[in-house]
Amino acid sequence: MTPLHAVDLRCEHLAGVPCVDTPAPRLRWALRAEGRGRAQSAYRVLVSTDPADLAAERGTVWDSGTVPSADHIEVPYGGPPLTPGGTYHWTVRVHDEYGIPGPWSTPASWRTGITWSAPWIAHDRRHDPGVVDPAFRYGPTNRRGMPPAPLLRREFAVDGRPRSATLYVTARGLAVVELNGAAVDDAELVPGWTDYTKRQPYHAVDVTALLKPGANVLGATLADGWFSGFVGSDPRRPGNLYGRRPWLRCELHVVGADGERTVIGTDERWRSAYGPVRGADLLRGESYDARLERPGWSAPGPACEDWRPVLVEPHDGVPMVADRGEPVRVVEELPALRCERLADGRHIVDFGQNLVGRLRLRVRAAEGTVVRLRHAEALDTGGELYRENLRTADAEDVYVAAGRPEETYEPRFTVHGFRYAEITGPPELSTTDVVARVLHTDMPSAGRFRCSDELVNRLWSNIVWGLRGNVVGLPTDCPQRDERMGWLADAQVFAPTAALIMDTSAFFTRWLADVADAQSEEGVYADVAPKVPTTRDGAPAWADAGVILPWLLYRTYGDTAILREHWTAMHRYLTFLRRTNPDLRWRHRRHNDYGDWLSAGEETSRELVAAAYWAHDARLMAEIAGVLGLAEEAADYAELRTRLVEAFRADHLDAEGKVTGDTQTGYALALGMDLVPGHLRERCVAHLVANVERHGWHLTTGFLGVALLCPVLADTGHADVAHRLLTQRGYPSWGYTIDRGATTIWERWNGWTDEDGFASARMNSLNHYSLGSVGAWLVEGVAGLAAAEPGYARLRIAPRPGPLRWAEAEYRSVRGTVRCGWQRTDDRIRLALTVPPGVTATVCLPGTGAVFEDGRPAGGADGVLAAEPDGSALTVSSGTYVLERVLPG
Ligand code: BGC
């Protein structure tokens, strides 16, 4: 028997070396082993400040001892209080189902947060020569000029070679930090967006290797970012949402060979000056004059006479929080597929994929040559960039060449949503001179899906790229125009799909803190988080994300802490609804009341949407209270649920099972949220199928119905209809957009139509993930890989093949990797299944008669826990299985 391994160690959901400031960080690991029926019976965790101790099996900080337990997804650190500014290394060993210990895991580490004391510093514009460089005041709207990005530096000395050096850093704005001329890490757009009036995220970096005895220099380039740059599309208030300039706050904690700790922090000894970045904004772009570079500025040596004292401000008391999410990074480079030179000297470059990031360009041009980089998601019928849909987001970078034989430029303080770029200025340009650098929050990948239909595979790819494009620090609606905001409904409908593609546990944990911060005094969640002045309190389905997302994290990752953390806020919201709508009809305070946003061809009653979501919230709150052991609240919410379901049925369901408005989304919500009584379900489903047929086997659903439509159809015996919608190529459908060049998910079904061309540019993003929420059904329905219990402790494997010949999915759950793939031949279906240790799976294969393995009834096979005599269900323990069932002729 091979040993049971603990793998994929995480601290507070984070891989790598996270900085955490919770006193009892939650440790998690996944399990891996060969063979069937494998499971963890006990674990032992060791924590030390010296990795060598772990190698010697010494837990000098904490030794949990051998703990009889199968838990491995939420194990809290149980040792003595952690020291601020420390680094802790840990390893774990698990015992298998026979109590046999496996090998110690590959160690992992975390850092602890610090108690900050350094003040904030910024460039003091009073020293500026009066006007921003006119050459770079650009942007057709000529709105407020983009101030140059200042360089800040501090020289300091270090005695000897330090034992360790950790930099704790954050900014109000964006900071790129260097030590002795080298970037301290590969994090981008640091520290990301949050409501800086409510919390200030920071992260920690090990810079020991960059320090040297004697003179050292710490330097940072600062830009506006979300703090003082343009956010959203409010012409009345272009930018400066949180402040009028960017600020830096950092502390370098150096531990000398003698153990002495020295802190070099931001203070009045820093100096600042302007460099090559002559303007930078997330929406508008960056301008860079290479002639103004200051070689070696962030290393000891240059005179720096023109550097001026910085502004110094004490901290304003906003909580400093160790960042709970992964950093944004450049995660991939895409080559240019095509570079066409136009008659007027411009170059149009095609990367073949709508993506989010920026260009890296190789320039060979005379000194002073102005190179303009303009970005767009599509070309218009004339072959020109389609940029109208960017609205006021200029998405244009400008580079002025220094005239060196070869120069490379890549903006650092902006990000664009694009597939195409127009490059003007360089006399010559080829596909090898430019790449697209893809940026997003660097979450571990979690899953993949493939099947025998290339259209469906393209759809999956568009969904994946849609996700990648809208997780740059937070979940956004779109990445290209002057919006890019954390819209709550978009996130809640798409989150189940997102979680099957990337490990979103830390990412959403981070953002949910913003969602709670944006909750109003009255208790209602906002439409977007972080909140921006132009948006309001949340509409039905938007505000409800405040309840739905914590539940999803619990369901997906078995995370009970997130439920505990958000219980009060969620309860406040439900109390708000009851207080403002005492008759349990959500008529009041529906705010922008968007309904089934961007549906096609039919409108769903907004009352129905509100009633369905309120009843859904009550159900989740009853379950959440149960998980948290809040018996009274659980009973109260269960009772509220009952009454809200009665109200829904009374107002929105007739005796024939028809919902108000008779729309697809109406049925999807009613059936998907379990609001229809058993005796009416069949007729209700029949009305839904009739509606789909009435629309020529096309969907009509908008943001709210699209995620539920196919699962509801498939789970009510109409998988054939769901597959018909999935592979539909007529308008509206995913296939229609794909056949017209979509490489991401469009905001609207009619983003581009043969009849009208592009939809109104007022709102026509070609990279909005909401309508891609069908992705979860591809994995859970088509491939058949779904969780039946929180944290994937139990699986339900029930593929819906439809007309496909094969499909496969893989998902790295918190418990280990699940693989599920099936092939259909003329008379049978063959399933290959891998179930991680400690997990059981109920397999429901389509077909008739018993399930077989290796030609024998699977009922008696090793690892099979139960088998329905009619073959309709087979329950197996962990392991790998190849199962077959006969398909009816
Ligand atoms: C956003 C959406 C959002 C919607 C609400 C749009 O502008 O792009 O994603 O859900 O507004 O109406």
Q: What is the pLDDT of residues 273-323, one digit of tens each?
A: 999 999 999 999 999 999 999 999 999 987 778 899 999 999 999 999 999
Cα of 569 vs centre of ligand 1, distance in Å, is 24
> Would residue 293 show up in a list of annotated catalytic residues for this protein?
no
Mean pLDDT of 547-576: 98
pLDDT digits (tens, 9 = 90+) for 491-530: 999 999 999 999 999 999 999 999 999 999 999 999 999 9
Question: What integer best gives the mean pLDDT of the chain?
Answer: 95
Looking at ligand 1, which residue's alpha carbon is closest to its atom 9? 477
Length of the chain: 889
Concatenating the DSSP letter of every residue in 268-303 gives TT-EEEE-SEEEEETTTEEEEEGGG--TTTTSS---
Q: What is the 3-state secondary structure (H, E, C) of 184-230?
A: CCCCECECCCCCCCCCEEEEEEECHHHCCCEEEEEEEEEECHHHHCC
Q: Which of 286, 377, 747, 884 is catalytic?
A: 747
The answer to which of 128-142, 307-321, 850-864 has the lowest mean pLDDT is 128-142
Q: Are 612 and 668 in contact (CB under 8 A)?
A: no
- Helix/strand/coil for 67: strand
Mean pLDDT of 787-804: 98
Concatenating the DSSP letter of every residue in 842-856 gives EE--SSEEEEEETTE
Distances 358 to 33, 334, 439, 616, 739 between C-alpha atoms, Å: 42, 10, 8, 41, 26
pLDDT digits (tens, 9 = 90+) for 629-676: 999 999 999 999 999 999 999 999 999 999 999 999 999 999 999 999
**Domains, the chain, with CATH or none:** 5-112 (2.60.40.10), 120-325 (2.60.120.260), 329-440 (2.60.120.260), 447-783 (1.50.10.10), 786-886 (2.60.420.10)
Looking at ligand 1, which residue's alpha carbon is closest to its atom 6? 477
With cut-offs at 50, 70 and 90, classify the pLDDT of residue 612. very high
With cut-offs at 50, 70 and 90, classify the pLDDT of residue 239. confident
Mean pLDDT of 850-862: 91
What is the rounded radius of gyration, in angstroms, for the C-alpha atoms of the chain? 28
pLDDT above 70 covers a percentage of the chain that reads: 97
> Would residue 483 show up in a list of annotated catalytic residues for this protein?
yes
Tokens of 652: 């929105």
Cα of 174 vs centre of ligand 1, distance in Å, is 26
Query: How confident is the model at residue 129, as a pLDDT?
Result: 65
Residue recorded with tokens 């890989």: 785
Question: Which atom, in ligand 1's list, is nearest to the CA of 594?
Answer: 12
With cut-offs at 50, 70 and 90, classify the pLDDT of residue 535. confident
Q: Are 224 and 174 in contact (CB under 8 A)?
A: yes
- Helix/strand/coil for 804: coil
With cut-offs at 50, 70 and 90, classify the pLDDT of residue 137. very low
Tokens of 527: 């439409």
Q: CB 32: neighbour CB atoms within 10 A?
A: 18
Kind plus residue range of the DSSP H or E element containing 816: strand 816-824
Cα of 484 vs centre of ligand 1, distance in Å, is 10
Residue recorded with tokens 């300039």: 245
pLDDT digits (tens, 9 = 90+) for 449-466: 999 999 999 999 999 999
Q: Which residue, 467, 384, 458, is CA-closest to 742?
A: 458
Distances 692 to 661, 707, 709 between C-alpha atoms, Å: 14, 15, 10
Whether the pLDDT of residue 132 is over 50: the answer is: no
Calpha distance 147→293 (Å, rounded) = 16
Calpha distance 721→878 (Å, rounded) = 33
Q: Which of 483, 602, 623, 808 is catalytic?
A: 483
Output the ligand 1 site: residues, CB below 6 A.
477-478, 483, 487, 489-490, 594, 597, 763
Name every residue whose Cβ is closer than 8 Å to that of residue 654 and which is 6 or more positions away in sequence. none
Mean pLDDT of 224-246: 83
> What pTM was estimated for this model as a whole?
0.97
Query: How confident is the model at residue 287, as a pLDDT?
Result: 95
Residue recorded with tokens 């494997």: 797
Long-range contacts at 61-67 (CB < 8 A, ≥ 24 apart): 61/88, 66/42, 66/95, 66/101, 67/42, 67/43
Tokens of 572: 């406040």
Query: How confident is the model at residue 234, as a pLDDT?
Result: 63
Q: Which of 392, 490, 765 to mutate to test ligand 1, by most ligand atoms within 8 A of the CB atom? A: 490
Cα of 488 vs centre of ligand 1, distance in Å, is 9
Given the DSSP bridges, would you call strands 26-32 and 42-48 parallel, antiparallel or unpaired? unpaired
Name every residue whose Cβ is closer than 8 Å to that of residue 433 and which is 6 or more positions away in sequence. 339, 361, 362, 363, 426
Q: Which of 532, 597, 599, 609 to mutate to test ligand 1, by most ligand atoms within 8 A of the CB atom? A: 597
Calpha distance 608→620 (Å, rounded) = 18
Cα of 483 vs centre of ligand 1, distance in Å, is 9
Whether the pLDDT of residue 869 is over 80: the answer is: yes
Calpha distance 223→241 (Å, rounded) = 14
Whether the pLDDT of residue 140 is over 50: the answer is: no
